[in-house]
Amino acid sequence: MADDYALSSTKKGEAFASAFTRLANQNLGEIDPEKWVVFMFYSHPPLGERIEKAKRFAS
């Protein structure tokens, strides 16, 4: 929900996607983890899903 709010208030989907891509690269975060890993260990959507959502918003 926070991502939706950020995208709708700023209208900057490309900047959002770019920021999360840089975050993943700097922290060596996994962009597309296995579904079971997401289920067991994640409290937020994986970075890949968040980046794709922002790209869809931008277009």
Buried b (16+ CB within 10 A) or exposed e, 31-45: eebeeeebeeeeeee
* pLDDT, position 27: 86
* pLDDT, position 21: 92
pLDDT tens digits for range 9-45:
999 999 999 999 998 899 888 899 999 999 999 999 9
14's CB contacts (< 8 A; 6+ apart) are 54, 55, 58
